[in-house]
Structure 1
Amino acid sequence: MTDQRKFIYTSAGAKKTRLDVFLSEQLPDISRSRIQKLIQCGGVLVNEHTPSVHQFLKDGDVVMTLPTQSPRSGKFPKQERKATFALDIVAHTDDYLIINKPAGLLVHPTASPDTRERTLVDMLLAYDASLGKIGEDPGRPTLVHRLDRDVSGIMIIPRTFAMFEYLKREFKLRRIEKRYTALVYGVMTKDEGEIDFVISRAATGGKMAARPKSQDGKSALTTYKVRERYRAATLVDVQIHTGRTHQIRAHLLAISHPVVGDILYMPKKKPAFTAPFLMLHAEHLGFSDLQNEWKNYSVEPPKEFFDFLKQCS
């Protein structure tokens, strides 16, 4: 791991010096090859821009190394998968559970031929076997919505068939309030905004693509408000008014502010820094219960999320 450090290049009448050579002189404890990989990984800025490995420096150039993971592979670090998870129950009622899903936990089994891993569904059935009788799909019992594997945060789990049917209808009618917290690349100029690109499956890469409404795709609406601006990133509150696959991630990439740490929805030009996990958290759910009382539930992002924010300030 490298720390954030700043250097100002002065030629002192010497010939032009390459960036990697200059950093090797300033950081004698790090090998030249490792420095080159650090540059390739986006861990170095020159005058706040991403340089090439062999860029020549001129007098007054400001060179900054950013906090990054070890660049041994020359690639961004893979997001770690935790082997074990605990079921974090935020609220327990006769009609539903409110849970806090950790990042890295798969919500339900997939069709992948890989070794079967423990999912949120498995944990729910171990907690209450009767949940297996609720729903329409035996492989995904009691689920009325989901979060991507790498997204942490709040979910509602119906405990009765009546609640299952009710929540399914409420989600379909877009009456349930869903808010997220995200750290995105770049400094947003607007305090709030709306993204209404349609979403469809991309031709390659196994991901979704956000496109102008004049093109084919499913309608999608995302709104956001800036919570805090940092030197090279922005913390935003995001609300989705539809529930398309990877909606937030695809929409934010489409406006050139992808989520920090998102390996799948990364811009073509590698960002100057990254996080070892996806900086996206489902923070709030609001809905009317079966008694027509409005309920609000919120869970803060995990400690690691706040720890990374401190590095950005």
Structure 2
Amino acid sequence: MSILEKHVDKIEQGTKIREYLKTELGLSTRLIRSASINQKIFVNDKVVKMNRVLNPGEIIKIDLAKDESQDIAPEKMDIDIVYEDEDILVVNKKPFMVVHPTKSYQSGTLANGVINYFMESGQNYIVRLVSRLDMNTSGLIIIAKNQFSHGMLSKEMTENKVEKRYLAIVHGIMKEKQGTIDLPIYKPEGIEMGTRRVIDERGQRSITHYKVVEEFKAASLVECKLETGRTHQIRVHLGHLGHSIYGDVLYGDGDNEGDLIKRQALHAYGLNFKSPRSGEELALRAELPEDMKELISKLR
């Protein structure tokens, strides 16, 4: 059973528990209301109402366990777990894998495998995705195990407080070995454009910090750190600079590069963020997948 516990230290006289949970623990109104209705909020091991006034030295406990179900069929598959605790699961997604079931992909998704893992390990959770990746982008994905961690980390994501690092293999030798791309990304209307984005002043401000890690004969391994998180941000920005990612069908010449790599050579290798429960800084890393290692060998 997952219990969130907080020892009340200094507190203003007359502070009610509802206010304290929102300001000090950062809990959402929805979570507080749900936990209160289900009598899962305790002070000194006694169920309390939300107008209860708190005193220094008291101990608050919130039972985060919840009976939930999800219409995702469990499927046994090999999942590369990079980190796990009582609140989150971080996995290294393989390339060519959809994150969550869709009309086109009812099975074989990461969520199918995670649900199966939860069941086999005796954990009664649903899949709450904090982050996502394109089908053909590999790397780290955060899955929350409860409403508390999902709310906290989603807020951090929205405020760009989760540091996301990627490795990309691009065409050409970059003139500037490091720098910042600060160009707005826009999604044009029209069916013919599909999911493609463009650089356009009508778009949202988008910031990518990049650094060349290694150079080959006519290609470069580039690290990208996102300050914003727009759809296809790295692919659009690097392509706009004239250094499209190998294997990228949408923004590069991927249709003609199948003998080199079967998908865009983009890997979400690093995540830095604070644990929603302890506040401890987590720095998680995932090694380059085999197809990108093989591409590097071919380009050397």
Select the residue among 104, 108, 121 that pairs with 2:100.
108
Distance 1:127-1:115 versus aligned 2 partners, 3 A rule: closer
TM-score by length of 2: 0.68
Q: Secondary structure at the match of 1:128?
A: helix
Structure 1's 269 and 177: CA in aligned 2 closer, same or farther, altered over 3 A? same
Q: Provide the aligned length of Structure 1 versus Structure 2.
A: 219
Distance in 2 of aligned mates of 1:286 and 1:296: 4
| Secondary structure of the structure 1 residue equivalent to 2:125 | helix
Corresponding letter in the other structure for 2:114? L
Change (3 A) 1:178 1:246: same
Q: 1:237 aligns with which of 214, 223, 240?
A: 223
Report the alpha carbon displacement of residue 122 of structure 1 after superposing the two structures with TM.
Answer: 1.4
Cα displacement (A) at 1:272:
12
Pair 281,156 (structure 1): closer, same or farther in 2 beyond 3 Å = same
Tell me which stretches of 4 or more aligned residues in structure 1 moved more than 4 Å.
Answer: 267-274
Q: State the superposition RMSD in angstroms.
A: 2.4
Provide, for residues 163-213 of structure 1, a one-character-per-residue CA deviation record: whole Å limited to 9, x for no partner. 10000000011111100000001110111021122112134331332324x
Letter in 1 for 2:291: E
Matching residue of 2:272: 286
Q: 1:118 maps to which residue?
A: 108
Deviations 1:229-253 (CA, angstroms, capped at 9, x unpaired): 1111110001111111111111111
2:84 matches 1:98: no
CA distance 1:208–1:277, change in 2 (3 Å): closer
Asked whether the equivalents of residues 186 and 234 of structure 1 are also in contact (C-alpha less than 8 Å), the reply is yes
Distance 2:169 2:272 in 1: 22
Q: Residue 298 of structure 1 is aligned with which of 275, 285, 289?
A: 285
CA contact (8 A) 2:248 2:254 kept: no
Q: Could you say which residue in structure 2 is the equivalent of 1:150?
A: 136
Which consecutive residues of structure 1, in runs of 5 or more, have no partner in the other structure? Answer: 1-83, 133-140
Aligned to 2:198: 210
- Percent identical pairs in the alignment equals 33
State how far apart, in whole Å, the 2-side matches of 1:242 and 1:310 are: 32
Distance 1:122 1:100, change over 3 A: same
Contact 1:108 1:121 in 2 (8 A): yes
SS at 1:164's partner residue?
Answer: helix
Q: Tell me the distance in 2 between the aligned counterparts of 1:254 and 1:271.
A: 19
Distance in 2, Cα, partners of 1:266 & 1:309: 18
Distance in 2 between the 1:98 and 1:158 partners?
A: 9
Q: Structure 2: 5+ residue runs without aligned partners?
A: 1-75
- TM score, norm. by length of structure 1: 0.65
**Paired residues of 1:124 and 1:131 also in contact (CA < 8 A):** no
What are the equivalent positions in structure 2 for 1:145-224 lying under 5 Å apart? 145-202=131-188, 203=190, 204-212=192-200, 215-224=201-210
Does structure 2 retain, via aligned residues, the 8 Å contact 1:85–1:102?
A: no
Q: Distance in 2 between matches of 1:170 and 1:222?
A: 18
Distance 1:194 1:210, change over 3 A: farther
- Can you list the C-alpha shifts for 1:134-160, whole angstroms capped at 9, x where unaligned? xxxxxxx40111011001111111112
Change beyond 3 A, Cα 1:85–1:199: farther
**1:311 matched residue in structure 2:** 298
| Kept in 1: contact 2:180–2:210 (CA 8 A) | yes
- Give distance in 1, aligned partners of 2:128 and 2:254: 39
